[in-house]
Amino acid sequence: MLFLLGDGPGFRDMFKEVVSLSLWVTWAMTSIVVALAGPFGTFDSQPFVWRLTYWGSLIAAAILIAISCRTIWRHILTGRPEWQEDLAVAISLAVTFGPLVILLNHLVGGSDAYQAMSLWAAIGCIFIIAIGIIAFRRALRDLAIGEQPKPQVRRDRLLNRIPANPNARLARISSDNHHIKIMTDDGQEHRILMRLGDAVQETDVEPGFCVHRSHWVSQAVVVGVKTVGGRDFVQLNCGSEVPVGPKYCDNLSFAQNLNA
């Protein structure tokens, strides 16, 4: 219980619940509906303003009890499924708030109030109402999460020029006369009319480097460098080899470290 009084996660979670605007809008609407209904004989015996104050206070107390119960059970049932926490909260609220409602209604309405609803009936009703409200709030939360726009993954501007898969990443770019060939990490190849230098300027997300005046490769696909007949070649994870131009050797420090 001490974690409720400190500045730990339990206290912060409870504070967020208490200051939630949607929670208190729900409280206000529920208080008005119950005040208009006037259960336990309060409709005939008390004016509307009195009923609104009385039931509004009781519902506010129920909300605070429910928030406290949820904070406690969330601490106890850490890592358990949500339905177990919801069930524990509903039961705790019913057995705690039910007797309070019966007691206050008896003080206000006398024996007629108890005849209108017994203790076990009150506990049962509160349990059912609590389960319904919890289910409703869970549904609203899931709906809100489902409607949130998914964050767009950053991708190289060059990929916007080709019909690449949304999750594809650049693997390699090569000159092909006046065109370039663009290879992505999912094995797809695309050919467009463009200069290699302009294409490289549009690779502003995927780390990579030019290894030849006709070739750019992604750092992620490089597995090493080998020398054949005095010439260096970059080895790619797809099994291909790309020649290295003399003036691009300084770009190979990362790739050469793979062979170390």
Residues in the chain: 260
Distance (Å) of CA 95 to CA 73, 92, 122, 192, 233: 15, 5, 9, 71, 76
Amino acid letter, 17 = E
Instruction: Centre a 10 Å sphere on the Cβ of residue 195 and count the other Cβ atoms it contains.
Output: 12
Q: Is there a contact between 244 and 212 (Cβ–Cβ < 8 Å)? A: yes
Domains and CATH numbers, the chain: 2-147 (no CATH), 158-259 (2.40.50.1020)
CA–CA separation, 192 and 110 (whole Å)? 86
Which H or E element spans position 233? strand 231-236
Distance (Å) of CA 152 to CA 29, 149, 218, 259: 38, 9, 21, 36
Task: Give exposure, 133-164, as e/b (b: 16+ Cβ within 10 Å).
Answer: bbeeeeeeeeeeeeeeeeeeeebbebbebeeb
**Residue-level pLDDT at 26:** 75
Quick one: residue 148, left, alpha or beta (phi over 0 = left, psi -120 to 50 = alpha)?
A: beta
Q: Please list the ranges in the chain whose pLDDT falls under 50.
A: 1-10, 259
Which ranges in 148-252 belong to alpha helices (H)? 196-201
Q: By three-state DSSP, how is residue 77 classified?
A: coil
The whole-model pTM stands at 0.46
**Residue-level pLDDT at 111:** 59
**Residue-level pLDDT at 24:** 74
**Tens digit of pLDDT for each residue in 180-235?**
999 999 989 999 999 999 999 999 899 998 999 999 999 899 888 888 888 888 88
